[in-house]
Amino acid sequence: MLSRFERNISILGRSPRTFDNYSRHVAAIALHFQCLPTDLNPEQVKDYLFELQKRSKTPSQTYFKYTVYGLRFLLKTESLPYEYLQLPSIPKSKKLPVILSREEIWFMLQSAKLLKHRLLIGLLYGCGLRCMEVRNIRLKDMDFHRKLLHIVQSKGKKDRYVPLSEHLIRGIQKYIAAEHPKDYLFHGQSVETAGGDFDSRYSQRGVQWVVKTIARQAGIIKDVHTHTLRHTYATHLLEDGVNIVSVQKLLGHANIETTMEYLHVCQIPEQLPQSPLDKVFTLCSRSGK
């Protein structure tokens, strides 16, 4: 069953990380009841999910959500309908993304003492990269003459090109001259993977630590993650007048509806509403009241 699960997740284009995530949550419920997941009955699943809900300390209830996703995928693998275990629907979160101001981006760049950390912040924001994408940058992916970065086989197995800032190019060239990377731009400690290979890329946890630490050092009180810089990139492009179809391509979104979410947070000067309080002060100060 586990082999079929892994095979079908791979065939559908999902990442090994998705398999690890789903299988871990499905294994947890199987171990809890000491039976195969497909031998569970709907009442057992409801009891387990209820316990997860009570245990969860986060609004998103991540563990609950991925247990349901994992069971759904397993039922699909075993050619069973979702109704077999009466799995609940998971409503999509309607929260708007956290966006940083340009000044806050500048403070982060100034707070990063190491060139490597400044480049990580610069690439995540300046190219709108996902955490995985910045970790996967190879020397051969950068075209300094054309000022382009080639994002290879990212989410959805898609390639794209994004423009490279001249400031980033100068910093990257300085970093390469000092650190002499051979393959990946950013290297970390070599770690053995589940397949027996060795991964020498900068770790996901390492990138996340850099972003959160530098945001704190910059005095930013917003909840900043690696993806916050990508959200900010998209929003600032729209505020600068870049059309939404171009932003969609730069982000590598399959559906433009995903990109359109940033229209709710960007502030285009011509369309930016003004608080009526400002008008009160303006009119009354002119009349001397």
Q: Among all residues, which ones are annotated catalytic?
A: 130, 155, 227, 230, 253, 262
Contact call for residues 219 and 107 (beta carbons, < 8 A): yes
What secondary structure does DSSP assign to 32-96, as a single string?
HHTS-GGG--HHHHHHHHHHHHHH--STT-HHHHHHHHHHHHHHHHTT--GGGTTPPP-PPP-PP
Rounded Cα gap, residues 267 and 269, in angstroms: 6
CB-neighbour burial class of residue 76 (10 A; exposed 0-12, middle 13-18, buried 19+): middle
- CA–CA distances in Å: residue 210 to residues 10, 111, 119, 177: 31, 11, 11, 22
CB atoms within 10 A of CB 146: 11
Per DSSP, helices labelled H in the chain are: 2-11, 16-33, 42-55, 62-77, 102-111, 115-126, 131-135, 166-179, 204-217, 226-239, 244-251, 256-260, 276-286
